[in-house]
Structure 1
Amino acid sequence: MTGQGHASRSSSQGIIAVEIRTVNNRGFKCILRSPDSLSGFDSRMEGLARSLIHRGSVSMSVSWKRPPSESMPQIDQELLQSYVKQLKAGRDAIGVDVMATIDLAQVAMLPGVIAPAQSDQRDNKLLWQEIEQAVYEAIENLNAMRDQEGSHMAETIRAECDTIESHLEQIGVLAPRSVEVYQNRLESKIKKLLARHEVEYSKIDLLREIQIYADRADVSEEITRLTSHLKMVRGVLGDANTADPHTVDSGEEKAKEGEPTGRKLEFIVQELLRETNTIGSKASDSEIAAFVVEIKCAIERMRELVLNLE
């Protein structure tokens, strides 16, 4: 799923800024950019992102601006005044024509006037707390954008479920008819064949053959399982009164557990396709075969969405 999130925090440890971008990816991939001064935290930052983002190609940029006390050199005011006083005394002793002015910029270059920047006195524990909180906030902002995209994807998946259910209803109507068609076709062929050889046949044998075909072509069990799987899809998406409490968590419980919805839906979609293939292999009716193709197309569209769903 695509999205972007940004956060910054200011404290005694400086200013931490984090920007996170994600694009669709079946798994998790993280590209981290951070300054050398924060390289010791790289593994922890990536691990934190991995624990909060389960799927997507993640680009995370982290910057750190040190506190002014660390980044600015200090001027020794007393030493500077002492230099200027001595230079003035020297100018008066030598004469104004020799040295009319005193350039402070040049004086500042004299030894000891500008003290070097303070050494790195950062508190790594406090600094990591600021980085961690900034990453959390950036991911929260990222998820707000990704939630909008996820809502649209969920609506599309629900629409595909409705399409599949509609086709299943048609298959349920056509399935018994296919047995009748098979019976009439088989009976007509047998009558023509036996009449040619003037041989009689037992209707018991014909009915037995038809029963065998009816059992073999019965798709009611597959239709029931497909309907159940579609309810599971809606349950994972958080729809009320659709999920089996023993197999699928409600949307609220899932969110609390942090369980990735996409991976569960990916498994259910595989089951949908398996049951649909079974119907296609059992049914010999051309109209049923056409509905099976439409169902498989809908499942494939669902699969493409699910692969990118968090």
Structure 2
Amino acid sequence: MTDDLYPHLRSMTGQGRSEVSGEHGNLVVELRSVNHRGLKLVLRTNDALNAFEGVITESVRGQIERGTVTIHATLKPPPGQGLPRVNQAAVAAYASGLAEAAQGLSVPTQIDLSGLLALPGVLSTESVADESDAVIERRRQFVAEGVVAAVERFNHMRHHEAVAMARVLQSVLATIRERAGMIQELAPGVIGRYRDRLLEKIQKLLAEHHLPVEPVDVIREVQLFADRSDISEELTRLASHLELFSGVLEGTHTADAKSDARGEIANEAVGRKLDFIIQEMFRETNTIGSKAGNARIAEHIVEIKCAIERMRELVQNLE
């Protein structure tokens, strides 16, 4: 099997990192995710990116369907950019006012620049609102490109993990098919063995109590047992679920409007589709085990249930 068989699969756990530099500084974006029923984004940025939080989340949404994704983004501006600026006009006004006051009071004029810097309006920081639309757009694009690069690495890792899980799932599917085939071979003999045991009991009772038994009564009892223990329909449905599971896993499944199960999962994420199919597989397996009433079939049922549980654990990690 090659990765080309599963281009649509992604694990819900993974991480990705990007680091880009340009005229707007150095941007580092890291993404980490864990399992979640839906999509939950947790964003953590520094002050330089406060105005671009919407850009960051918008660049992530649409690329990820399920999972709790934590996004760490840090922008370090170029040296000198973003530092407070001295309002020279305000400094000159304060200095002139101090000089006039000193002259009026006949005291020496002593101007402390560090003291002036603490006065209102002397220091100012350039905000995004003060920048031109062109500069803001270039910075927005710079941030978006950094996030997209991190998402690409993030998705690549998730795809790699999902492919490994898909290979295991295909192997487990083969095991279930093999066990189901063995059950199919054993099923006809169950009725025959029941008939033989029933006749043996009847013959014993006849020998002990001389009771008459009509052959039609034996035939009727065997027929009733055959109807109760018939598992052919359940085996057919199980085989259908296995085929559907494989099709969804490989991305070759097309929704069948005539089937309730297939119609219900048509628009769900892959992980949810597979989880739904597993529930149906488990239901059919339980029914087969309860109807068959055979020790050898029961052994295969146990193995199939164990295999389904292994599949369930893996599917819960798929997006």
Q: How high is the TM-score relative to the length of structure 1?
A: 0.75
Does the CA-based 8 Å contact 2:162-2:318 persist in structure 1?
A: yes
Partner of residue 191, structure 1: 203
> 1:179 maps to which residue?
191
Identify the structure with bigger relative contact order (alpha carbons < 8 Å, sequence gap 6+): 2
Partner of 1:60: 71
SS in 2 for 1:300: helix
Amino acid aligned to 1:146: R
Q: Which residue of 2 aligns with 1:294?
A: 303
- Matched to 1:35, the amino acid is N
1:21 corresponds to which residue?
32
Aligned equivalents of 1:189 and 1:132: distance in 2? Answer: 80
Q: CA deviation at 1:109?
A: 6.4
The letter for the 2-side match of 1:4 is Q
What's the counterpart of residue 2 of structure 1? 13
Deviation at 1:231, TM superposition (A): 1.3
CA distance in 2, matches of 1:177, 1:119: 86
Segments of 5+ residues of structure 1 without an aligned counterpart are: 77-106, 249-256
User: Which string of whole-angstrom CA distances, capped at 9 and with x for unpartnered residues, describes residues 178-205 of structure 1?
Assistant: 1111111112112222433322111112
Aligned equivalents of 1:264 and 1:47: distance in 2?
A: 26
Cα distance, 1:219 vs structure 2: 1.0
What is the count of residue pairs matched by the alignment? Answer: 268
Return the alpha-carbon distance in structure 2 between the equivalents of residues 166 and 295 of structure 1.
Answer: 10
Amino acid at match of 1:30: L
Aligned 1:1-310 pairs, distance under 5 A? 1-42=12-53, 45-46=56-57, 48-68=59-79, 70-72=81-83, 116=123, 118-120=125-127, 121-122=130-131, 123=133, 125-238=137-250, 243-247=252-256, 260-310=269-319
Cα 1:119/1:246, change in 2 over 3 Å: closer
Q: Is the 8 A contact 1:70 1:118 kept in 2?
A: no
The 8 Å contact of residues 56 and 308 in structure 1, kept in 2 or not, is answered as no
Residues in 2 aligned to 1:44 and 1:150: alpha-carbon distance in whole angstroms = 28
Match of 2:213, SS state, is: coil
TM-score by length of 2: 0.73
> CA RMSD for the aligned pairs?
3.2
Give the % identical residues.
43
Give the equivalent residue in structure 2 for 1:102.
none
Deviation at 1:172, TM superposition (A): 0.3
Q: Unaligned 5+ residue runs, structure 2?
A: 1-11, 88-111, 258-265
Cα distance, 1:68 vs structure 2: 4.8
Q: Distance in 2 between matches of 1:175 and 1:44?
A: 61
SS in 1 for 2:154: helix
Of 198-207 and 1-10, the range deviating more from structure 2: 1-10
More off after superposition, 227-236 vs 153-162: 227-236
Q: For residue 59 of structure 1, what is the amino acid of its counterpart?
A: T
* Local SS of the residue matching 2:31: strand
Alpha-carbon contact 2:13-2:317 (below 8 Å) kept? no
Check conservation: 1:9, 1:15, Cα contact below 8 A: yes
- Structure 2: which amino acid aligns with 1:195? A
